[in-house]
Amino acid sequence: MMFGLFFGDWTLLIVLPAMLFALWAQIRVNSTFAKYSRTPTRSGMRAEQAARRLLDANGLSYVAIQRIAGNLTDHYDPRTRTLNLSETVYDSCSAAAVGVACHEAGHAIQHAAEYAPLTLRMRIIPLCQIGSGLAMPLFLIGLLTAQLSVLGDWLMFAGIACFSLATLFQLVTLPVEFNASRRALEGIRTYRLLEEDELSGARRVLSAAAMTYVAALATSLLSLLRLILIARNRRN
């Protein structure tokens, strides 16, 4: 039986803490967003309007803002230079929604400023996507054939190398996300998009969201370590 991929394998314990951390982070971001979505801001400014003001103040009037389906599916698309806000954020007047919308505007500002980590992430995305798709098939084939041929060892190594690209992407993502939140909070304060007491709600939402990226990196790193241990034990 293959070692290291199914239940009963002790290496699963390596990834388990990160998986629990990721679950906690997702629950926390959802609950924090829900909490600070209940009360509208005193100004009544919608999230889309706040993002528009932040973009325009940074000379990014050409960046379009679009409504998209889903809950917290918000993102900035550097290919089309569009800021996409989810249904739960776009028309909302809450501190939570304003924080999320301005965070995505922060990515647009990064793009315009050629922020190095964002530029690097954009450049490695195609390679990381290929590596992510090939990682497990290569590793599994190598695991199955390791005792038959030295090629199996090389395939496991290739699978681990491909998986490391996905880990690299998660690593590069961290400074991009933290910096976008910093830019968002600075812009909210500078242009008075929220009152000072409301700003704390936006800050907590963005802080909770940041933990999901930390959890993703932790999960990826420990999963990579697990593959390395499985390969080493298989060879032994």
pLDDT tens digit sequence for 151-162: 888 999 999 999
Asked whether residue 64 is assigned to any structural domain, the reply reads yes
CA 212 centroid distance within chain: 7
pLDDT tens digit sequence for 56-96: 999 999 999 999 999 999 999 999 999 999 999 999 999 99
Task: Convert 9-44 into a string of H (helix), E (strand) and C (coil).
Answer: CCCHHHHHHHHHHHHHHHHHHHHHHHHCCCCECCCC
Asked whether residue 104 is assigned to any structural domain, the reply reads yes
Dihedral (CA of 115, 120, 121, 125) sign: positive
pLDDT tens digit sequence for 204-214: 999 999 999 99
Name the percent of the chain lying above pLDDT 90. Answer: 82
**Which pair of structure tokens corresponds to residue 101?**
């919308």
pLDDT score at 235: 59
pLDDT score at 8: 53
pLDDT score at 31: 96
In this model, does residue 6 exceed pLDDT 80? no
Residues marked active site are found at 104
pLDDT tens digit sequence for 32-52: 999 999 989 999 999 999 999
Q: How far is CA 18 from CA 24, 26, 119, 236, in A?
A: 10, 12, 28, 27
Whether the Cβ atoms of residue 204 and residue 194 lie closer than 8 Å to each other: no
Asked whether residue 120 is assigned to any structural domain, the reply reads yes
Asked whether residue 5 is assigned to any structural domain, the reply reads no
Asked whether residue 106 is assigned to any structural domain, the reply reads yes
Asked whether residue 2 is assigned to any structural domain, the reply reads no
Q: Which domain holds residue 222?
A: 12-235
* Mean pLDDT score across all residues of the chain: 92
Asked whether residue 3 is assigned to any structural domain, the reply reads no
- Please tell me the total count of domains within the chain: 1
If one counts every other C-beta atom within 10 angstroms of the C-beta of residue 236, the result is: 6
Q: How many residues does the chain have?
A: 236
Asked whether residue 7 is assigned to any structural domain, the reply reads no
- Assign 145 a pLDDT band (cuts: 50, 70, 90): confident
In this model, does residue 2 exceed pLDDT 50? no
pLDDT score at 68: 96
Strand 64-68 to 75-77 pairing: unpaired
Q: Could you give the maximum distance between any two Cα atoms of the chain, in Å?
A: 70
Answer left, alpha or beta for residue 3, where phi above 0 means left and psi between -120 and 50 means alpha: beta
